[in-house]
Amino acid sequence: MRLAALVSGGKDGLYAAYLTSKSGESELSVMVAIKSLNPESYMYHVPNIDLVKLQAETMQTPLIFRETFGVKEDELSDLKAALAEAKSTYGVEGVVSGAIYSNYQKTRIEGICAELGLKSLSPLWKRNPGELWNEMFDAGFEVLISAVAADGLTEDWLGRTVDRNTFKELCDLHNTCYVCTGGEGGEFETFVTYCPLFKEKITIEESRNAWDQQTISGQLIIEKAARTPRLSEPTVGS
């Protein structure tokens, strides 16, 4: 089955795409990304969304990239138009997304797919975040924190790579500050610099922090990034 993958640059969409392509029963034909001009969008991940273009290049996969004003419900029409283009141009039969606990996202994607005659796949749905992180570590995913907005997640978390030790810190914050270790409540956002779908690694060359002391939240603004060869293969389970 030919699939379109809904991606934002973060871990969930790319891991969902990886799982479906790994099964051997589906072909990842195109990536679809929606850039919301509303930082409080209900549907779409906002930080560093433009870098999805670089991810698509290193995957050597076509990308449909659209902007939306991010008005609740109205923003869905832009997604529908993008998926209609994926169907007509690339012949996709289904859509894979990284929804885990958001009924809002999942049901709306399913509704759009039903209208377009596409199958909606959510391979991460209701999965345990800890299990997903461990699977991503085993698969060689390299993920950094690109935004934070929760008690306990201070500015020094921005730009940190999440490895097994970092994940233990997230678990501690879950126990003390109720931070969801998957970031599903908006506690943090992520950006994938490498995964098995990539032919090259993405290296962050220039970045800065945008920090709001009043809301105790902030974003890593990636100003320059490039595709670079990986010097070595990841150690499985590292």
Residue 236 maps to a domain: no
Residue 235 maps to a domain: no
Which range is least confidently modeled, 27-31, 73-77, 90-94, 95-99? 73-77
Quote the pLDDT of residue 232: 59
Q: Mean per-residue pLDDT for 105-125?
A: 98
Query: pLDDT band at 45, cuts 50/70/90?
Result: low
pLDDT digits (tens, 9 = 90+) for 185-231: 899 999 999 999 999 999 999 999 999 999 999 999 999 999 999 87
Residue 160 maps to a domain: yes
- Spatial contact of 201 and 228, defined as CB atoms under 8 Å apart: yes
* 197 contacts: CB under 8 Å, gap ≥ 6: 14, 17, 18, 21, 28, 59, 61
Task: Give the three-class secondary structure for 172.
Answer: helix
Q: Which domain holds residue 89?
A: 2-121
Quote the pLDDT of residue 185: 86
Higher pLDDT, 87 or 238: 87
Query: pLDDT band at 43, cuts 50/70/90?
Result: low
Give the domain-ending residue among 99, 121, 143.
Answer: 121
6: enclosing H helix or E strand: strand 2-6
- Spatial contact of 124 and 100, defined as CB atoms under 8 Å apart: yes
Quote the pLDDT of residue 25: 86
Residues 81 and 151 in one domain: no
- Distance separating alpha carbons of residues 33 and 53, to the nearest angstrom: 9
Residues 102 and 150 in one domain: no
Residue 80 maps to a domain: yes
Residue 42 above 60 pLDDT? no
Q: What is the pTM of this model?
A: 0.93
Task: Give the three-class secondary structure for 121.
Answer: strand
Residues 14 and 111 in one domain: yes
Q: Mean per-residue pLDDT for 24-34?
A: 95
Residues 14 and 116 in one domain: yes
* 165 contacts: CB under 8 Å, gap ≥ 6: none
> What does each C-alpha distance from 187 to 40, 43, 67, 177, 183 come to in angstroms?
13, 15, 24, 11, 5
Number of independent structural domains in the chain:
2
Bridge-based pairing of strands 201-212 and 2-6 is unpaired
Bridge-based pairing of strands 94-96 and 188-194 is unpaired
Question: Which candidate, 53, 51, 37, 109, places its Cα nearest to that of 79?
Answer: 109
